[in-house]
Structure formats: C-alpha cells, structure tokens
Structure 1
Amino acid sequence: MPDSPAQIALLVVELALLFSGAGLLLWLLGEPRRRQRWLSHQPLPHWPVTVPEFLFAGLLVFAGGFLGQTLVQTLAGARIAGATDRTGLELFVYGAAFHLGILGGCALFPVLRRRLYSDYGSQPAPFRPGPTLPWTDITRYAAGTVLVALPVLTVLSLGWTGLLRAAGLPDEPQDLIGIFSATQSPVIIAGMLLVACGLAPLSEELIFRAGLYRYLRQRLGRTPALLVSGVCFGALHGNWAGFLPLAVLGMILALAYEATGSIRVAIVAHSLFNLNTVLIVLSGLPQASP
C-alpha cells in the first residue's frame, strides 16, 4: 500500500480524477444534445491528397524519424553507451531524434508536394486549416477528454490484463515505464518528460489523427477510420499490455479531434494523459499498490 505522503496525496488525486471523469462521462452521455455534440459525425478540415501522395507522406515521415535516430546514434552512440543512466539517456536522445525527424518529414511534405506540382506547371489543392480555437477552449476540451478517458481506460486495462493472463500472454507494462522508474538523473528525467509530453504527442497526433484518421475518415467513413487508426496507434507501441487501452485512447483522441475540428485539442489531451502517467510512475505508486 502507499506509505509516503506524496504517494497518498497522488492516490487521492487520481481517485478524484477517476470519479470526476466518470461523472463527466455520464453527464455527456445522459442528455441527447450533449451526446450529439461529441459523438455525432462532424466535418473535418479536408485533406486533398491522392493515394500516392498519402503514401509518399507516410514514407517521408517515417524515413525522417529513422534517419534522425540513425544520425544521432552514429554520432553519439558510443558516448551514450558509456553513460551511467544509459537506458534513460538513450530514451531521451534517440526518442527526441526520432520524433524531431518525424516532424521534419511532416514539414517537408507540403514543400516537396508544391515543388512536384510546379514542375508540371500546376498547383496542388490547398490544405484548409481547421477552426482557430482560443487556448482556453483548447485546454478545457483537452482536460475534459483526459478526464473521460481515465475511467474508461482504467476499467478496460483491468479487463485486458485479466484476458492476457488467462491466455498466457505477457502483461508487463512498456519498458519505458521501468526506465522512468530506474533513472536517477533529474536532467535525463526532464529530457524524457520533454519527449513523452511534448515531442511524442505532437508527432503522433499529426501522424495518427491529423494524417491517418482524417485521410481514412473522408474516404471510408468514421467507424473504419477510428478502428484502423486506433489499432495502428496501439500496435506502434509494441506492448501487449498497452495495446487495447492505447488503441481505445487513440479512438477517444480522434473523437475529440472530430468534435472540435482542432488537432491542438488532441495534442494537448495526449500530452496531459502522458504527463499523468509519468507522474504516477515517478511517484512509485504502481510498485506500492497491490
């Protein structure tokens, strides 16, 4: 059981978040107008790309991540391998390089697309941005999304873990959770926080919600887009224990993106969710709880 004041305080906060999220979820689903607002089909900003352009964008994005990580590993791999907190430093440096490479690929795609069209004397269809929400609304919607997601994912995680154990499949959490717990350097922990709560939510939301979900949404409809983008998001993390909860989290973030039309809401919600998870891990609460 939790024994330190910090762990007890965090446990109280987490329980308050869970009950608040459950209450908010019941409130949202309990009245038809509110339910219609958040669960009905909403038009997303159109993304006028062809199938070859979409595949090229995917190739460019993941090539950027791979090249960024490979470059840093080539230049600094030997030094990082000899560091005291080697595993944490690898997660920070290689993770930052990977996500920055992805963001570089995202930025490069529209430039190369315009250049390709200009070579043939034409212009590509312009991207139409979504609504510009004030940051107060973005923060409010993002916090509400996380509150709703927490009780849903908590119940789902318990059931999913039981199924994995019954099937004889591994139910250990992601390696990075153990890395956060074992890292001692405050500087490296700050760097890992930057990756987990800044770079990763930004790059992953651009790929899975603004990219994959929006592309499939306008071609196949919402349900296939939710399932495919959610499953891909869960599978990318490469962990049995987190697969289904993360897939459902991806679907919740996609619904928030569609309901608000702003990818910033999904990015901030993703960041807040990761921050909450990291704080729980750093507190030692999972090890202190039965």
Structure 2
Amino acid sequence: MTSTPTGRRLSSKGLLALISLVLAMSVWVLGLRDSLSRDSVAPALSLQQQEKALLAEPALPEPLKPLLVGADPSAQLLDALLEVPLDRLDDRQRLLLASLTGDAVQRQQALALPIQSSDLQDLQQALIRHQADASLSEANAALLKAPQFDPLLRTLGCRGLGGTAAQCIDPRAAEVAALASRRLLLAELLPISALLLGALLLLRHLWLRVRGRIPSWPPLVGPLLTPADMAILVAGGFVLLGEVLLPVLVSPLIMVISQGLSGGLGQAVVVLVGYVSLAIPPLAILKLQLQGLGDEEVPAGGWLQWRPSPVFPALLQGARGWLMVMPPVVFTGWLMGKLLGDQGGSNPLLEMVLRSDNPLALLLLALTAVVLAPLFEELVFRGVMLPVLARWLGRGWGVVLSGLVFAVAHLSIGELPPLLVLGIGLAMLRLSSGRLLPCVVMHACWNGATFINLILLGS
C-alpha cells in the first residue's frame, strides 16, 4: 500500500531534478557564452596601477623605481590608456589621454567625445583651444579655476597645454606622491609576499606528505542527501530561482531602494540586495531538505559540520589554505593569459570596487564579497555538494566536480580555470580539516585580499 506513493514521490523528485538540471545547464551555457562579450577588469586595473606609479614616482627611493614604476611611467600610462577602448574611458581618463598623447589624431578623438562632468569641461575646452595655438597662460587660466582637479590631471593637463615641468608642479604634489607611493608599495609587496610565503608552505606540505608525516584526513561527514536532492538545491534553487526568477521579482524593489542614491552607492545597494535575494531560495530548499532527514541520527557538529569552536585553529587553517592555494591559482591564470590571452568576463563587482570612492559603497561591497559570498557559497559547494558527490562517486571525483561546478557558477570562461583550482583547494581544505568554517575563512581571505588590492589601486 505504501510502495506506490513512495515510488511516485521519488520519480517526481527525479523528474524535477532532471528538468532543473537541464534548464540550469542552459542558463550556465548562455552565461558562459555571454561572458566572452563582457569586458575584463584587467585593462582598468592596469590603468589604475600606472596612474599610481606616475603619482608615486617622485617619492619612491631610487633603487625601487625600476621595479615599481619602470623607466618611463608617463609612456606606460599612455600605453595603458590606449589599451582601453575610447568609449570605455571616463571623462577624466579621456582628458589624461589627450594631455599625454603626441598624436594629433588620438588627441582630437579623445577631445571630440562629449564631457558629461561640468567640472572638467573647462579643461576640455582649454585643450581644444591649445590645439589652435592658444597661449599657455590663457589656457591655464581655465585649468587653474578648477581646484577640484586631482593632482595627476592638473599636472598632465598643464603639460598637455605646453607648460614646462616647473610650471606644472601641483601644490599638493609632495603629499600626493607620498600617499601614492605607500599605496603602490602595499599593492605590489603584499601579493608578492603572500605568493612567496604560500609557495614555501606548499612545498613544505608536499615534502611532509612525501615523508608520510601528514595526518590522515578525518571521515567526511555531510547531509545524507541524494544526487537528485543536490540537483534540486543547486540547479533549481541556486540557478533557476536564485539567479533567474527572484531577481526579476525583486528588481522593482531594488530600483525603489537605490533610487536617488549616487551612482557608486546605488550600485552597491543593488549588488547587496541582489546577492541576498539570490541566496534565499537555495537556503530555503536546503532547510526543508535537512528537516526531511529528521529520522536520521544527526552527527556531532550537525549535517553541515560548521563546528565553529575552536575558532583560532579554523582561522589559522583558512589563512594557511589561502596562502597555499595562491601560487597554483595565480600560475593557472598567468598560463591561461599566455596561451589564450585575456578572455574577458570579469566580475562587474571588481570594477565597481576599483572605481568607487564612496566609503559606504565600499563597505556594502565588502559585506557582499568578503562575508556573504564565502558563507553562502561554502555552505552550498563544500557543505552540501562535496559530501554528496564524494559519497556517491568517491572523494577524488567529489573534489573535482564540486570545484568545477563552483567555477562554472561564476559564469566567466576567462576565470574558469583559476576558479577551478581555487575550488579544488577549498574542497581539499574541507576534507583535511573535517569542518566548514576554515573553508569560509579561506574564501573570505581570497576575496578580501582581492578587495584590498583593488582599493589600494583604485580611486
């Protein structure tokens, strides 16, 4: 009497899982294809780095200049500006290009585009008049009326108008150079130091493993869900409901909330609310699935193995995992760039952080990237998916497939190989530590380090 309803229920679940999987794969394929047409953050990042180098040059010690700013930072900034399509440069960057270039055609093209910012229109007109041989004093009068110009634009704009180096010294030049030099040093030295330390830790770990001195991994504990349950959670909840349906439903609310906010702050609010809405459906589905395991004996630490105590070892494991995964991830990204070039498709949030100068906007973006994203993504991919796949396919396949789905979920072909390596590293930390909190810490360290580097090179 009871076998028929059970069979129907299982069959319905399997059919729902299959439909969800097919639709989600279609969404992901379209997303990956569209990522090829999305811009990469690399040119904008290079541009910001060259600006910092040019600003910092006067304050840098002579031995460090070749390493940090190169032989001719002005030429390098011009090259970085020329690598970005003209329509992607903002008003300020087009004026920098017009001030730096010696090519009349390039200057005319840069100045021909309308300047939306009224604060910069005087400089645009001054540069246009200078092309018609206006005197430097007349042109500089317009330039010096605008104290809101940043020192780099003021200095380069003055030189673009024919001024000498002595005439174009900004009153704040020494202060700005000192600040830029500190930011540039941190932006360069922190990643290099982390890479070197991570490489040493990785070599030490491999040596200890060869020597047989690494403790065996604990049993992998996770929710007793089926692959169908997992497909419903990830494909149905995360992709179809979280990424497709709910954003459509909440978009009017997001527009109301962000209405009237400045560009950067409005974008940050949209990102935060959008990410929270994305996480709600899969979390609700997971709660129902775990409640359905009520008859099973819940293991110590719970189905998801958060096990927050003791905290300090988890923080240490997460930080060490981040350092150890950096070298293979960075090498994979470098190798992909050498073999295939920049494939684009960067996360739009990266450029928002790079360009934002609003502290509240940066705080909201940091909350999304460094707190919410690691918590939610680790719960889904290492808390649920990895244990389920490992139980059904073995640990090796569980690590690789959970890492692959994690990488694909970010919808960027250009970033897929490095994200796959990162996902594998996170999965191996979950296996070696036996709990989920170190993975969250490691993920937060990765996103946080990227966030800090963008701020150092940003506005």
* Kept in 1: contact 2:306–2:436 (CA 8 A): no
**SS across alignment from 1:240:** coil
- Structure 1 segment 179-198 matched on structure 2, within 5 A: 179-198=352-371
Counterpart pick for 1:146 among 322, 337, 342: 322
Unaligned runs of 5+ in 1: 115-122
| AA aligned opposite 2:208 | E
* Kept in 2: contact 1:63–1:105 (CA 8 A): no
- Structure 1 segment 102-251 matched on structure 2, within 5 A: 102-111=282-291, 113=292, 123-128=294-299, 129=302, 130=305, 132=307, 133-165=309-341, 170-171=343-344, 173-251=346-424
**CA 1:261/1:103 → structure 2, altered by over 3 Å: closer, same or farther?**
same
Unaligned runs of 5+ in 2: 1-49, 57-179
**Residue in 2 that maps onto 1:93:** 273
Distance 1:34 1:196 in 2: 38
**Residue in 2 that maps onto 1:72:** 250
Name the one with the larger helix percent.
1
Offset at 1:230? 1.0
Question: TM-score w.r.t. structure 2 length?
Answer: 0.54
Post-superposition Cα deviations, 1:43-79, rounded to whole Å, max 9, x if no partner, equal: 2114322344334433345566356544432323245
Post-superposition Cα deviations, 1:6-58, rounded to whole Å, max 9, x if no partner, equal: 221232222111111111111111123776637x6642114322344334433
Alignment of 1:50 onto 2:226: yes
Offset at 1:87? 3.1
Higher mean alpha-carbon deviation, 70-79 vs 261-270, is at: 70-79
* Kept in 1: contact 2:222–2:384 (CA 8 A): no
Post-superposition Cα deviations, 1:125-182, rounded to whole Å, max 9, x if no partner, equal: 23423484410100010010001011221111100122222xxx72453222112112
**SS across alignment from 2:414:** helix
Alignment of 1:18 onto 2:195: yes
**Residue in 2 that maps onto 1:119:** none
Distance 1:47 1:264 in 2: 16
| AA aligned opposite 1:141 | Q
* Kept in 2: contact 1:88–1:180 (CA 8 A): no
| AA aligned opposite 1:280 | N
- Over the aligned positions, Cα root-mean-square deviation in angstroms equals 2.7
The alignment-based identity, stated in percent, is 22
Higher mean alpha-carbon deviation, 271-280 vs 76-85, is at: 76-85
**Residue in 2 that maps onto 1:117:** none
Question: TM-score w.r.t. structure 1 length?
Answer: 0.83
Distance 2:289 2:346 in 1: 35
The alignment covers a number of residue pairs equal to 273
Distance 1:81 1:105 in 2: 32
Larger Rg: 2
**SS across alignment from 1:37:** coil
* Kept in 1: contact 2:254–2:273 (CA 8 A): no
**CA 1:284/1:131 → structure 2, altered by over 3 Å: closer, same or farther?**
closer
**SS across alignment from 2:184:** helix
**Residue in 2 that maps onto 1:262:** 435
**Residue in 2 that maps onto 1:120:** none
Post-superposition Cα deviations, 1:251-288, rounded to whole Å, max 9, x if no partner, equal: 00000000010111101110111000111112117x9x
Q: Whose relative contact order is higher, 1 or 2, with alpha carbons under 8 Å and at least 6 apart?
A: 1
Distance 2:279 2:306 in 1: 26
Distance 1:238 1:126 in 2: 37
* Kept in 1: contact 2:429–2:439 (CA 8 A): yes
**Residue in 2 that maps onto 1:118:** none
Post-superposition Cα deviations, 1:163-221, rounded to whole Å, max 9, x if no partner, equal: 222xxx72453222112112232112111111101111111011111111110011101
